[in-house]
Structures are given as C-alpha cells and as structure tokens.
C-alpha cells in the first residue's frame, strides 16, 4: 500500500514535470528553434536548479519531444475523428478526410503547427527517431493507406514510402500557405491539392486498378522502415 507521503511526492513530481514542459513550450515559441534551449535556460524559466530537470528528463531531446507530445496527439485525434465522420465504407474517402483534417489543423493553428514541424528540433540518433511523438501522425496515415490496400485499391508506392510521401506533400502544401497566402482564401485550393495527392497514391477502383498489385518494396521504403526502428503497432483503425 502506497503511503500518503509517497502519493504527495508523486503529485508534486507530476506538477513539476508539467511546469518544465510548459516552460519549454514558451521558450520554443519565443525563440522559434531549440538551438538556444539548454537545461540551464529551462531551469531559469521554471525557477529551479538545472540538475533538478534530470529527475524528469534524460536529455534535451526527450525534453523537447515531451513538450510537443500533446500537440501531435491533438492532430492525430482530429485526423481520427475526421476519418470516422464521413463515409466509413469508402477507405479512400476516409483517407482524404484525414488529409483534410491535417491541413485544416495546420491552417487554423499555425503557431502550434510551426512548433511541431517548422521549429528546429534537437538532432537525435537515428535509433531514437521511431520514438518521436510525430509517429502518431504517420501511423494514422499509414493505417489509412493500408485500409485502402486491404479493400482492393492499388498503391502506387509501397505503404511506408506512400505514407512518407503523403505526409511530406501535405506539409509542403500548408507551408506554402503559411509563407505565401496567410489567409483563408487558399484553403479550398489546399484541400483540392490534398485530394489530388491522395488520388495519385491510391489508384483506380477496387478490383479495377491499372496496377496488378501494389508496389511492395523500394530502397526508400526499406530505409523508412529502418528509421522507424522496430515494427510499431498501427493501433486501432481510426
């Protein structure tokens, strides 16, 4: 049985961790990069000693990823909800809905999006990349593509490469929107381009695809799997 004192220490530790994460979010938003972020700078922002941070985080990479975890989770949740809201019998329509949700999140929350995908994050050893919280976004897209494949659609690229291509394409579209347009007038065009990107990767109709089967493997798809590390569960299909 856990003592009352132990429970209080645990709650205090959770509050301290939350304070540290909030401080990192503020500093990243202010500086626009993790380059100046140090344990000492975070400690000063929170009002504690730098060694105290190591009680909660092992290094700068873990600290930054923890600060962004909720943002990636929010985006993944919106993508999952969009996939459920439309025609659940059409897997390609569900994937388009996920792509639309991604773009709308980026356009409606540009500050959050920049922290997630445009702020320079700490360089991490390749063996750790599979643990980045952005995996929740890529997993959502990969599940959507696999669902299309299982329902008879052809994929013009192996699923891992198709996932990365779709993600990169969506990011490029919203980055152009942020850089060049900066208003809502281009939202319709961005969503149309997202549809075109999905349709270029998920080809034909079930049973009638011009491809006899989906492309199973390329050098790029092998490299992407290596970066992901050990096979991760795709989890429940959104």
- pLDDT tens digits for range 117-139: 887 888 878 888 888 899 999 99
Q: What is the mean pLDDT of residues 146-154?
A: 93
Q: What is the mean pLDDT of residues 177-184?
A: 70
pLDDT band at 223 (very low <50, low <70, confident <90, very high): confident
Closest listed residue to residue 142, CA positions, set 58, 212, 36, 224: 224
Using an 8 Å Cβ cutoff, are 14 and 1 in contact? no
- Length, in residues, of the chain: 238
Q: For 31, what's the count of Cα atoms within 13 Å in the CB-facing half-sphere?
A: 16
**CA 100 to CA 82: how far, in whole Å?**
8
Residue 99's pLDDT is: 97
CB count in 10 Å sphere of residue 195 = 16
Q: Is the pLDDT of residue 228 over 50?
A: yes
Q: Is the pLDDT of residue 195 over 90?
A: yes
Q: Which residue has the tokens 């999905």?
A: 198
Q: What is the mean pLDDT of residues 55-60?
A: 89
**CA 88 to CA 53: how far, in whole Å?**
45
Residue 63 token pair: 């600290």
Rounded to whole angstroms, what are the CA distances from 230 to 1, 131, 209, 224, 226? 36, 10, 32, 11, 8
Higher pLDDT, 207 or 178: 178
Question: Cα dihedral sign for 35, 62, 38, 32?
Answer: positive
Residue 181's pLDDT is: 67
**CA 78 to CA 104: how far, in whole Å?**
10
Out of 128-132, 209-213, 229-233, which region has the weakest mean confidence (pLDDT)?
209-213
Closest listed residue to residue 117, CA positions, set 127, 101, 105: 105
State pLDDT tens for residues 63-99: 989 888 989 999 999 999 999 997 888 999 999 999 9
Alpha carbon 128 to its chain centroid, in Å, reads 15
**CA 112 to CA 105: how far, in whole Å?**
9
Task: Give percent of the chain with pLDDT exceeding 70.
Answer: 86
- Please, what is the average pLDDT of the chain? 84
Which residues fall within 8 angstroms of residue 33, CB to CB, at 6 or more apart?
Answer: 119, 120
Helix then strand then coil, % of the chain, to nearest 5:
70, 5, 30
170: three-class secondary structure by DSSP: helix
Q: What is the mean pLDDT of residues 14-18?
A: 89
Question: Cα dihedral sign for 12, 23, 167, 230?
Answer: negative
pLDDT band at 180 (very low <50, low <70, confident <90, very high): confident
């Amino acid at each position: 049985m856990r003592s009352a004192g132990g429970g209080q220490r645990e709650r205090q530790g959770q509050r301290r961790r939350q304070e540290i994460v909030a401080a990192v979010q503020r500093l990243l938003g202010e500086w626009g990069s993790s380059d100046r972020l140090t344990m000492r700078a975070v400690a000063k922002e929170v009002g504690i000693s730098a060694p105290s941070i190591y009680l909660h985080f092992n290094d700068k990479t873990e600290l930054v990823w923890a600060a962004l975890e909720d943002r990636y989770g929010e985006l993944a949740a919106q993508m999952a909800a969009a996939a459920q809201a439309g025609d659940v019998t059409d897997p390609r329509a569900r994937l388009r809905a996920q792509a639309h949700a991604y773009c709308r999140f980026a356009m409606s929350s540009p500050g959050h999006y920049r922290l997630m995908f445009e702020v320079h994050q700490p360089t991490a050893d390749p063996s750790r990349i599979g643990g980045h919280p952005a995996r929740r976004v890529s997993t959502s897209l990969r599940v959507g593509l696999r669902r299309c494949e299982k329902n008879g659609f052809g994929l013009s690229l192996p699923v891992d490469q198709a996932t990365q291509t779709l993600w990169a394409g969506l990011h490029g579209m919203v980055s152009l929107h942020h850089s060049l347009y900066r208003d809502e007038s281009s939202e319709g065009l961005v969503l149309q381009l997202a549809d075109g990107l999905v349709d270029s990767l998920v080809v034909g109709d079930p049973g009638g695809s011009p491809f006899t089967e989906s492309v199973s493997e390329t050098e790029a798809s092998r490299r992407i799997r290596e970066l992901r590390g050990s096979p991760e569960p795709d989890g429940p299909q959104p």
